[in-house]
Amino acid sequence: MVPSNHHLISFLLSLFFFTTVSQSQPSFRPKALILPVTKDPSSLQYLTQLNQRTPLVPVKLTLDLGGQYLWVDCEKGYLSSSYKPALCGSAQCSLAKTKTCFSECCFSSPKPGSYNNTCGLIADNTVSQTYSLRQLGQDFVSIQSTDGSNPGKIVKVPNFIFTCAATFMLQGLAKGVEGMAGLGWTKISLPAQFSAAFSFRRKFAICLSSGKGAVFFGDGPYNMLPTNIDISKSLIYTPLIFNNVSTASASFAGDTSSDYFIGVNSIKVNGKNVQFNKTLLQFGEYGFGGTKMSTVQPYTVLHASIHKAVVTIFAKELSGVPRVAGVGPFELCYNSTAIGSTPVGPAVPVIDLVLQSSNVYWRIYGANSMVQVKEDVICLGIVDGGENPTTPIVIGGHQVEDNLLQFDLAASKLGFSSSLLFRQTSCANFNYTSTA
């Protein structure tokens, strides 16, 4: 009977501690946060919504994985009693590494506050490359917490830093969108601010799909229905590479890149090496080079020479299937009735992005490589980026759908799941249903 008494005592003790701890800590401390994402079928942008201001209003935003921070249109109907501009020399300005202090007022309608003695940043619309130097401010934000399986309580961040941009900057963004949610490698991106506000490890994950998806702030688990399989348990890791020169539409000298780069050393199609000039992948002057991930590019964009090499070898490996005319922006298209299907999409050659060693690779299956453009036409979903792109390989949205990507900023590494379709689940299979 000793063991059970012992258990009873420890049970009572833990009950006691649990009660005291929860009493001395009245405010709820979330383990992780979740931001639901949906794909807009016409713009192919991934959209999310954040509740901001006092009183709270839902603000629709385009998700930008490499974006520097949150920026929203403050010119059209920004009403909030909790908005605070960041004063020059303040902690906010230095965290944001601003290089501009506005003196008198400079813009026609200084909303929501005066520009005098406030610091500014370049707000960057990475879809249309529209940018503008605007006021840094802070306002109230609320977001849903999660335990990794279900949505939980709503939590608040009182002084969330963002840039107050202008209406003209919304050019090229999906209908109803009022700004962009930047998840990039800065001290004021959404992941950085949420980690700081709730003392999370500096980690976040994205799981996108052609329908529903999410951004998770903080650590896993990421339990996907129907079997509640925890995707965080089976990730493959590769180093995240910091590009010390800005790759934004506009920047100041010395600004670093907020984009996430990985080290692709070679590309294989059906196990065959794609021949191209590897020097392109090295980082060079002015931020050139490397492989980055993007959610504002709907499809992977390759340097012209790499694109040509991949298309040539892919066509050769799939030469048994009748080709049909290319459908812009894609060159390589097929009659899909002649291609079989697998749990991971059309039965086409796999494309491997070979990373730090020959046995670490990101394998792209048919569901992520092929795009259905017409009823019986599918195309290889990669786009020719021309002879002189800043970044020779940009992995786009279609290629990351139903793949969970975890960004561990403290350890500078990326964890990737490969296609969740293999595990009979998808990024749409998180329990997004909130009872609140």
Ligand X SMILES: *[C@@H]1O[C@H](CO)[C@@H](O)[C@H](O)[C@H]1NC(C)=O
CB of 70 to ligand X, least distance (A): 26
Residues in the chain: 436
User: Which is nearer to ligand X, 148 or 182 (by Cβ)?
Assistant: 148
User: Which is nearer to ligand X, 265 or 431 (by Cβ)?
Assistant: 431
CB of 217 to ligand X, least distance (A): 18
In the structure encoding, which two tokens stand for residue 148, read together?
A: 């990794």
CB of 329 to ligand X, least distance (A): 18
- Residue 352 · residue 361 · CB < 8 Å: yes
Alpha helices in 52-189 (DSSP H): 91-95
User: Which is nearer to ligand X, 169 or 207 (by Cβ)?
Assistant: 207
User: Which is nearer to ligand X, 10 or 337 (by Cβ)?
Assistant: 337
Q: Which amino acid is at 49?
A: Q
CB of 337 to ligand X, least distance (A): 4
DSSP string, 307-318: HHHHHHHHHHHT
CB of 8 to ligand X, least distance (A): 31
User: Which is nearer to ligand X, 180 or 428 (by Cβ)?
Assistant: 428
User: Which is nearer to ligand X, 128 or 150 (by Cβ)?
Assistant: 150
CB of 244 to ligand X, least distance (A): 4
- Residue 426 · residue 227 · CB < 8 Å: no
For tokens 């009873």, name the residue. Answer: 8
In the structure encoding, which two tokens stand for residue 206, read together?
A: 């994205």
Residue 310 to residues 276, 382, 434, Cα–Cα distance (Å): 9, 9, 44
CB of 170 to ligand X, least distance (A): 29
| DSSP 8-class letter at 68 | -
Q: How many CB atoms lie within 10 A of CB 12?
A: 10
User: Which is nearer to ligand X, 8 or 105 (by Cβ)?
Assistant: 105
DSSP string, 159-224: EEEEEEE-GGGGTTSPTT--EEEE-SSSSSSHHHHHHHHHT--SEEEEE--SSEEEEEEE----EE
For tokens 């279900």, name the residue. Answer: 150
User: Which is nearer to ligand X, 18 or 376 (by Cβ)?
Assistant: 376
**Which residues would be at the binding site for ligand X (CB under 6 A)?**
104, 116-117, 150-151, 244, 277, 279-280, 324, 335, 337, 376-377, 431, 433-435
For tokens 């920004």, name the residue. Answer: 78
CB of 336 to ligand X, least distance (A): 8
In angstroms, rounded to a whole number, what is the distance separating the alpha carbons of residues 228 and 194?
25
Q: Produce one character per residue of 240-264: b if its CB has 16 or more CB atoms within 10 Å, e if not.
A: bbebebbbbeebeeebbbbbbbbbb
Bridge partners for 238 per DSSP: 414
Please tell me whether residue 413 adopts helix, strand or coil conformation: strand
User: Which is nearer to ligand X, 125 or 145 (by Cβ)?
Assistant: 145
CB of 3 to ligand X, least distance (A): 35
CB of 420 to ligand X, least distance (A): 17
User: Which is nearer to ligand X, 246 or 300 (by Cβ)?
Assistant: 246
Q: Produce one character per residue of 310-334: b if its CB has 16 or more CB atoms within 10 Å, e if not.
A: bbebbbebbeebeebeeeeebbbbb
Q: Produce one character per residue of 170-208: b if its CB has 16 or more CB atoms within 10 Å, e if not.
A: bebbbeebbbbbbbbbbebbbbbbbbebbebebbbbbbb
